[in-house]
Amino acid sequence: MIKYLFTVFTVLMLFLSCKKDEIPVTTYLAIKNFTIDHNSSNSIYPVGLQPNFEITVSEGTDIEKLKKAFVISGPNINNIQFAFNYASGDTTIVINAAEKLDPLSSYSIVISDSLVSKQGHSLQTPYYASFKTQIDSTDKFPRISDEALLTLIQKKTFTFFWDFGHPYSGMARERNNSGNLVTTGGTGFGIMSIIVGIENNFISRQEGLERITKIVSFLNDKVTRYHGAFPHWLDGNTGATIPFSTKDNGGDLVETSFLMEGMLCALEYFDKSTVDEMSLRQIITKLWEEVEWDWYTKNNSDVLYWHWSPDYNWELNHQIKGWNEALITYILGAASPTHPISPSTYQNGWASNGGIKNGRSYFNYPLPLGYDYGGPLFFEHYSFLGINPTALIDAYANYHLQTVNHSLINWQYCASNPKKFYGYSDTCWGLTASDTRTGYTAHSPTNDLGVITPTAALSSMPYTPEQSLKAARFFYYTLGDKIFKDMGFVDAFSLHYLWFADSFLSIDQGPIIVMIENYKTGLIWNYTMKNKDIKNGLEKLGFSY
């Protein structure tokens, strides 16, 4: 019996000992719910500019203590007052911003573990949340007429080529942080932009003549050419070739064609019988006639090749085939009075004997040529800065239909926004090659990363004036100085990711100026299409225009 009682006593003591260890040492205050504009917290996007925060805690809390524990950080936050009020007893507190937060900005919230309930319990760990604010739809700049707005966009963008042009060579820098690195294709766009600048009284005719003469003289006197073709990149001080990539250290025929497109337009524009204008025409004619377009068929292989290098020969092996930005290369190749290509090179090379055709419809818009959904919009810009597509037809396409419908497909894709990127709309659209959050890429409906590039919509102005003007108004009035700077619109932006480029690229800025002018007056189209060699090239390839 004694043995039995001892055993029961021992078991009871062990049981009581275990129960004592299981008693909670501390009780913590808990945040049961936290909403911003009635949505669950953490990276809510977007929220109103005067957001409402609602916090529910597990125990009654004093508002004054919450005020001290509640810390919000973000732009201009020190100027914003917040009102704290109970909503349901003393466990739910509503916080309202008394003034607007900055639009399109990131904010973070911390509720520190110093928060103590009326029962004396504190948070176990701080509570964190973040959010982003939505677009502010109010105008950021005073309203002006559409005509004045387009001219203002041209004038600001013009400064990239005029004020930021290389001081020695006059050529266009690749981008706003390129230093002495200048680009041939972007310079072609810059030459056309200078002509637009003259006609809009941004500069005088004499100033424009002197700058373009400086450029072509530098190209003639300082730059190494490769069977007449220019390299993609140059040193603006010395003219030395700067490799675009390891094996791309020689002639770039497509960049050369963009340069020639600008120079042939200048040849027609500066048509006076003064010594200076005659001299300019002579240098341009010399450079034009020395490009060996036929050499770039790689031993008459019936297709043009993009690159040739004295060190790597044809190793890049990049055939120029459509549909892309390089139609101008074949037109100029056929137009050359000294080193022309044959029509079969165009038909078999560029057009792949009809393989260039698309023929399908997207959003009910028939697309004559190219990739699904058309690809990036620069395909419809670079060649058509000088070549007027309005009445252009050949065996493969009606180019008015091609340029208009590709632009409309791009617009409709952004308006429908299948990937649900914040900010896309029928007024905020445009996918083309540009900088992105992680580098540079060719944005398109099939490569949509949530990044809008202003040049896409603005340079489509002659094709989709209604949609492009809506985009211009949205970019300028609604987004304002978020994207409109001293050299025009920044290269790209993402409202979804709150990313705004700080870069300006010559190949994106130039088409904005030129295509807005082609919409307004047809200026660059008219002078380029006057060139007899270009007319001969178009007719040789079977174009009507």
Provide the edge-to-edge strand list for the sheet that holds 106-111: 44-47, 127-133, 106-111, 70-73
Helix (H, G, I), strand (E, B) or coil at 92: strand
Same domain (yes/no): 206, 253: yes
* 447 secondary structure, DSSP code: B
Is the residue at 18 inside a domain? Answer: no
Distance CA 240, CA 247 (A): 16
> Does residue 248 sit in helix, strand or coil?
strand
Q: pLDDT, tens digit, for every residue of 253-264? A: 999 999 999 999
Name the strand (E) or helix (H) holding 533: helix 532-540
Report whether pLDDT(20) > 60: no
21 lies in some domain: no
Q: Average pLDDT of 414-434? A: 98
Q: What is the pLDDT of residue 221?
A: 98
CB proximity list for 22: less than 8 A, separation 6 or greater: none
204 domain residue, yes or no: yes
Out of 111, 133, 155, a domain closes at 133
pTM for the full predicted model = 0.92
Is residue 381 helix, strand or coil?
Answer: coil
Region 529-542: mean pLDDT is 98
Q: Is the pLDDT reported for residue 483 higher than 50?
A: yes
Is residue 287 within 8 Å of 215, Cβ to Cβ?
Answer: no
Q: Does residue 76 share a domain with residue 117?
A: yes
Alpha-helical segments (H) within 319-448: 327-335, 343-345, 399-416
44-47/127-133 β-pairing? parallel
Is residue 349 situated within a structural domain? yes
Q: Give yes or no: residues 187 and 324 share one domain.
A: yes
d(CA 489, CA 434): 12
Q: Is the pLDDT of residue 316 over 60?
A: yes
Three-class SS of residue 231? coil
pLDDT tens sequence across 105-145: 999 999 999 999 999 999 989 999 999 999 999 999 999 99
| Mean pLDDT value across the chain | 94
Q: Which two tokens stand for residue 163?
A: 């004020």
Residues 200 and 96 in one domain: no
Cα maximum dimension of the chain: 134
Residue-wise pLDDT tens digits, 33-53: 999 998 876 556 799 999 999
Specify the pLDDT at position 44: 62
Going by their DSSP bridges, the two strands 106-111 and 44-47 should be labelled as unpaired
Burial of residue 288 (CB within 10 Å: 0-12, 13-18, 19+) is buried
Does residue 91 sit in the same domain as residue 180?
no
Whether residue 12 is contained in a domain is answered as: no
Q: pLDDT digit string (tens) for 70-100? A: 999 999 998 899 999 999 889 999 999 999 9
Q: For residue 407, tell me if it sits in a domain.
A: yes
User: H or E segment at 235?
Assistant: strand 233-235
Q: What is the mean pLDDT of residues 173-187?
A: 97
The predicted pLDDT at position 263 comes to 98
User: 398 with 473, same domain?
Assistant: yes
Q: Are residues 244 and 95 in the same domain?
A: no
DSSP 476: I
pLDDT band for 346, please (50, 70, 90 cuts): very high
At which of 133, 162, 180 does a domain end?
133
Confidence of residue 243 (pLDDT cuts 50, 70, 90): very high
pLDDT(4) > 60: no
Q: 523 and 396: one domain?
A: yes
Give the pLDDT score at 8.
Answer: 42
Q: Which long-range CB contacts under 8 A does 470-475 form with residues at least 24 apart? A: 470/426, 470/427, 471/427, 471/428, 471/429, 471/430, 472/146, 472/149, 472/150, 472/153, 473/146, 473/149, 473/427, 474/425, 474/427, 474/428, 475/428
Tokens 């105008």 belong to 139
* Residue 499, strand partner residues: 494
Whether the per-residue pLDDT at 424 is higher than 70: the answer is yes
Question: How is the chain split among helix, strand and coil, in percent rounded to 5?
Answer: 40, 20, 40
Q: Cα–Cα distance between 399 and 322 in angstroms, integer?
A: 13
Residue type at 194? I
210 confidence band (pLDDT: 50, 70, 90): very high
Rounded to whole angstroms, how far apart are CA atoms 185 and 254? 8
Find, among 291, 185, 305, the residue nearest to 228 by Cα: 291
Q: Is the pLDDT of residue 18 over 60?
A: no
Percent of the residues in the chain that have a pLDDT greater than 90, as a whole number: 91
Residue 231 lies in a domain: yes
CATH of residue 315: 1.50.10.140
**Please, which pLDDT band fits residue 21 given cuts at 50, 70 and 90?**
very low
Q: Which of 89, 109, 133 is the last residue of a domain?
A: 133
Task: Give the up-direction half-sphere exposure of residue 46: CA atoms within 13 A in the CB hemisphere.
Answer: 21
Domain that holds residue 279: 146-540
Whole-angstrom distance, CA of residue 219 vs CA of residue 216: 5
pLDDT at 251 over 60: yes
Lowest mean pLDDT among 79-93, 235-249, 446-460: 79-93
Domain count, the chain: 2
Q: Could you tell me which residue, 4 or 360, shows the higher pLDDT?
A: 360
Q: What CATH code is carried by the domain that includes residue 96?
A: 2.60.40.3710
Residue 134: which of 110, 108, 107, 95 has the closest Cα?
107
Quote the pLDDT of residue 411. 98
3-state secondary structure (DSSP) of residue 544:
strand
Contact 386, 192 (CB under 8 A): yes
Question: What pLDDT does 88 receive?
Answer: 81
CB atoms within 10 A of CB 541: 23
pLDDT band with cut points at 50, 70 and 90 for residue 478: very high
Same domain, 249 and 298: yes
Q: Is the peptide bond before 323 cis (omega within 30 degrees of 0)?
A: yes
* pLDDT tops 90 at residue 287: yes
| Residue 42, pLDDT score | 58
List phi, psi (to 5°) of 490.
-60, 165
Instruction: Note the pLDDT of residue 26.
Output: 54
Whether pLDDT at 1 is above 50: no
Query: How many Cβ atoms from other residues are within 10 Å of residue 471's Cβ?
Result: 26
Please give the Cα distance from 357 to 370 (Å, whole number): 6
pLDDT score of 180 = 97
Residues 123 and 153 in one domain: no
- Residue 447 pLDDT > 70, yes or no? yes
Q: Per-residue pLDDT for 2 more than 60?
A: no
Distance CA 483, CA 1 (A): 93
The pLDDT value given to residue 39 = 83
pLDDT band, very low/low/confident/very high, at 315 (cuts 50, 70, 90): very high
Q: Indicate whether 349 and 306 sit together in one domain.
A: yes
Query: 339 lies in a domain?
Result: yes
Claim to verify: residue 339 and residue 285 sit in the same structural domain: yes
Rounded CA gap, 273 and 209, in Å?
Answer: 13
Mean pLDDT of 528-540: 98
- Check whether 23 has a pLDDT greater than 80: no
